[in-house]
Structure 1
Amino acid sequence: MQHARPLPPYLIQRYHGWKATSYTENESWYRTLAQEGQHPRAMLISCCDSRVHVTSIFGADQGEFFIHRNIANLVPPYTTDGGQHGTSAAVEYAVCALKVAHVIVMGHSSCGGIKGCDDMCSGRAPELEERTSFVGRWMDILRPGHARIADIPNDAERLRALEKEAVLVSLENLTSFPFVEAAMQKGTLTLHGVWLDIGEGRIEQYSAAAGTFVPI
């Protein structure tokens, strides 16, 4: 591969800092993880957004979370078309191989993918309607959620509602996976939906009893 280049110097410097501090201080734990494998208690599905740092938010150690990130923290519906499905593969591995006890979907404020979905569904982003747009075709997953909030006239309120719909659509789609449903029926798996306000550092979780998101 002729196009690969060395890491930027600042990343190499940070690596050496980590190796000399965090790794050295916890070397026995890292060696245990390497020898005994991973046994995470939860899978966390979050957005690729660089501002959403789930391990810091929940104070998680190495080996505690099985993390999957994608645009707008979406889970597609279950399908058996034989295609290459990264998110579905991650869910299958977490539930069937790792036997996680919890799958948590985390949405967040000011999500660029959500804004793109709203623009696309409202006719303001024809480039996302193109068949060749990877982002557009991925955001098609959220069209049912957009239909539920499309009549909200205020832009900011509609986007915030759509951010939370992304969580709900993903939870709904998770239940379409037979192995997820089976684990839920056995009582070995629970699903959770949360939304993060980045600026306020506030998390809300979906309450089935209340039918809305409530602060934690």
Structure 2
Amino acid sequence: MRKSGLLLLAWLMTVSAAAVMAQQPPAVLAPDAIYDNGKVVTVDRAFTIAEASAVRNGRFVAVGRNADIRALAGRATQQVDLHGRSVIPGLMDNHNHQIWKARNLRRGVSMAGAASIPEMMERLARQAATLRPGQVVIGSGDWAQAQLRERRNPTRQELDVAVPGHPVFLFQTGRNNAHLNSVALKIRSGTFFRWRPMSEGGRCSPGKAPRFRRRFHDRRSARLEPG
């Protein structure tokens, strides 16, 4: 009788354990992380805003209400409280001129993090030292006046001193503006740019080469337009 009771107790414990395990998602299917108490912007046809999401292997596997998503958690699932923050899909900037940016970064000298105009000039000079005489030195457009101690653009004269024997095209953030040295301003053929004044003032004369519209005289910088 006692033996039968022990067997019955063991059977009941086994059944109970199996029931508990059945309620837990299999470890292989449980999400790696759950993000709840947030605003998940699904961008579906109804533009649904969900409360929580589950991620496995770097991909969203479920979105929905907090309670439903939390129920998917396994023993190793990380749970993150978003405290009302929003989760949005990845965004793509279609007006980023990726081809130009990539080409400038590949061919040009990065000015990212430059703290002053002398530091920029030093970077251009180092690049020029690796080139053959007359080769163009390009400064990639990843800088702005606000990052410089002087809070201004470099002048043509500063570019002339830093790189006297090479044309210099120092592009600025956005790549709509470029700063040139005197050697670059003398280039008339084989260029893919034309010139126009950045503002009223300064003396301009019609360019003679087919791809030049204007040429600058005695100006600090020039704006370049694709020709």
Comparing both chains, which one has the higher relative contact order based on Cα–Cα distances under 8 Å and sequence gaps of 6 or more? 1
TM-score by length of 1: 0.30
State the TM-score, normalized to the length of structure 2. Answer: 0.29
| Structure with more strand by fraction | 2
Structure showing greater Rg: 2
Query: Which structure's residues are more often helix, by fraction?
Result: 1
